[in-house]
Structure 1
Amino acid sequence: MNELLSGKVILVVGASAGIGADAARAFAADGASLMLVARSEGPLAEIAAELAKDGREVAWTTGDVSKAEDVRRVVDATVARFGRLDGAFNNAATTQGGRLDRVSEEDFDRLMAVNVKGTWLLIREEVRVMEPRGAGSIVNMSSIGGLRGSSGMGAYQASKHAVIGLTRTAAHDFGPLGIRVNVIAPGPTETPMLDQTRLAIPGGVEARIAATPLRKAGTGAEVGAAASFLLSDRASHVSGVILPVDGGFVA
């Protein structure tokens, strides 16, 4: 079988639930060997055990992407386990609702530490081990909130705009090294995080779905399928791209 990610070692960050877990399932189905990372040990171990039942090589480790020492350890553990790192899906994120002037400084700092600093730390460490091989593919996670503004999610949207900026710059910085860097911008996707948004902005999610040409929320599996393509050799000349997986919302 000619599987899309056959022979690839992929690091999946934020893999214990939601889009990260569904993406890990997609990558495993496409033939990848996986290192799964999240902060919560129990759910992470369950996902790893589920995927290993299908005969895939799966390892896992916990870590906090806002801490430089954790990120370096995670990347080093991947190389120690599998011998290399071919691709990474940088999906760890947190959210925060509320009008900008009502977001606490503590919440703002935590959101930026995970969503922005965490993405930068991951890129830095992933490139460190990809550069000697002269190849690699990194897929970061933004949001349609990183492409436009709307009321009630300003701090989160600012962080997702920043992830797009990091990705575009990384594509320029690391393209000469043979490393591709792209970003996915999902629309409303049925995950626990979407449920948090429903609570933070009553009616907001449903309004966005109603304004989506396909008239539905996406799934983690659909996001994972898009990421599989970007991580694969079929996307060998694709770098610096923002790929909305949003049912046409930003069209």
Structure 2
Amino acid sequence: TMAKRGHDLILGDPLPGLVGEVEALGVDVLAMDGMADLADGTAIARLIDAGMERFGKLDAACIRTGEIIGGRFMDATLEQLQRLQAVNQEAVFHSLQALLKVMVPAGQGQIVIVTSATGRRPLGAALYASTRAGANMMVKAAALEVASKGVCVNAVGTAFLDYPGFINATGSEDPEVRKKVEAKVPMKRFGQPAEVAHFTASLLDGGNRFQTGQFFSLSGGWSD
């Protein structure tokens, strides 16, 4: 979506074929592998450094982090909590700090952190929802600090998306299970990744610089 709007891109761990697809749209693309675990604070720093060397500036960033561990709270382990804190909260911490160190001195920038709608309304995965809620609040707190510096920071929380992570976590590869899960959504269907991309792009393309410190739920009406 951003490439279609003429933006050059920095991609971490792009899917096969994606680089060629966006280059065909006439934009410059920098792709780096080894970015999967942003809980390692050096990963996002390497990506930003490479991008600055290539393009000389960073106008916007969309960071998607996270891992799902389901189950009941009473059955959870400390190890599970620590893992989710690392990938769902520490990764956001490292990403925001690294991005803001570049954008604040530049006096401009837009950041979207993709979290989860379960950070607003739990869906049964207690530890996952808790760590996502923490990430959402971290985004709001950071946004408040840099609001006067020309940098906008928002969170987009998804749920009920038709992509492998959610499908596998809910068992929705089974058509009967999928029907039951979709029934929980007011719109009675799963959302498409392209719908998330279009909404997120509106917070990143430079046209909306008066929206910051917000959490937006993209969940078909399931969560406010």
Q: Is TM-score (shorter-chain normalized) higher than 0.5?
A: yes
Partner of 2:11: 36
Instruction: Within 5 Å, give how 1:1-251 maps onto structure 2.
Output: 26-38=1-13, 44=15, 46-62=17-33, 63=35, 64-151=37-124, 153-199=125-171, 206-251=179-224
1:45 touches 1:60 (CA, 8 Å); kept in 2? no
Change in Cα spacing, 1:208 to 1:195, as seen in structure 2 (3 Å) is closer
Q: Secondary structure at the match of 1:89?
A: strand
* Unpaired segments ≥5 residues, structure 2: none
TM-score for both structures, normalised by structure 2: 0.90
- Fraction of identical pairs, as percent: 25
- In the alignment, the residues of structure 2 paired with residue 227 and residue 195 of structure 1 have an alpha-carbon distance, to the nearest angstrom, of 21
- In the alignment, the residues of structure 1 paired with residue 68 and residue 15 of structure 2 have an alpha-carbon distance, to the nearest angstrom, of 20
* Unpaired segments ≥5 residues, structure 1: 1-25
CA deviation map 1:15-63 (0-9, x unaligned): xxxxxxxxxxx2212221111113xxxx545321222122221111122
- In the alignment, the residues of structure 1 paired with residue 87 and residue 178 of structure 2 have an alpha-carbon distance, to the nearest angstrom, of 23
Partner of 1:5: none
- In the alignment, the residues of structure 1 paired with residue 12 and residue 69 of structure 2 have an alpha-carbon distance, to the nearest angstrom, of 22
2:59 touches 2:109 (CA, 8 Å); kept in 1? yes
- Letter aligned with residue 216 of structure 1: R
- In the alignment, the residues of structure 2 paired with residue 121 and residue 56 of structure 1 have an alpha-carbon distance, to the nearest angstrom, of 28
Q: Which moved more, 1:69-78 or 1:203-212?
A: 203-212
- Letter aligned with residue 176 of structure 1: S
- In the alignment, the residues of structure 1 paired with residue 26 and residue 103 of structure 2 have an alpha-carbon distance, to the nearest angstrom, of 26
CA displacement at 1:217 relative to structure 2: 0.7
- In the alignment, the residues of structure 1 paired with residue 208 and residue 44 of structure 2 have an alpha-carbon distance, to the nearest angstrom, of 26
- In the alignment, the residues of structure 1 paired with residue 105 and residue 81 of structure 2 have an alpha-carbon distance, to the nearest angstrom, of 36
Partner of 1:15: none
Q: Which moved more, 1:168-177 or 1:190-199?
A: 190-199
Q: Which moved more, 1:28-37 or 1:219-228?
A: 28-37
- In the alignment, the residues of structure 2 paired with residue 97 and residue 110 of structure 1 have an alpha-carbon distance, to the nearest angstrom, of 13
CA displacement at 1:204 relative to structure 2: 7.2
- Letter aligned with residue 25 of structure 2: D
- In the alignment, the residues of structure 2 paired with residue 155 and residue 114 of structure 1 have an alpha-carbon distance, to the nearest angstrom, of 12
CA deviation map 1:213-234 (0-9, x unaligned): 2211101110011110011232
- Letter aligned with residue 9 of structure 2: L
CA deviation map 1:138-182 (0-9, x unaligned): 10112110101232x111111110111011101101112111001
Q: Secondary structure at the match of 1:224?
A: helix
- In the alignment, the residues of structure 1 paired with residue 147 and residue 166 of structure 2 have an alpha-carbon distance, to the nearest angstrom, of 34
- Letter aligned with residue 50 of structure 1: E
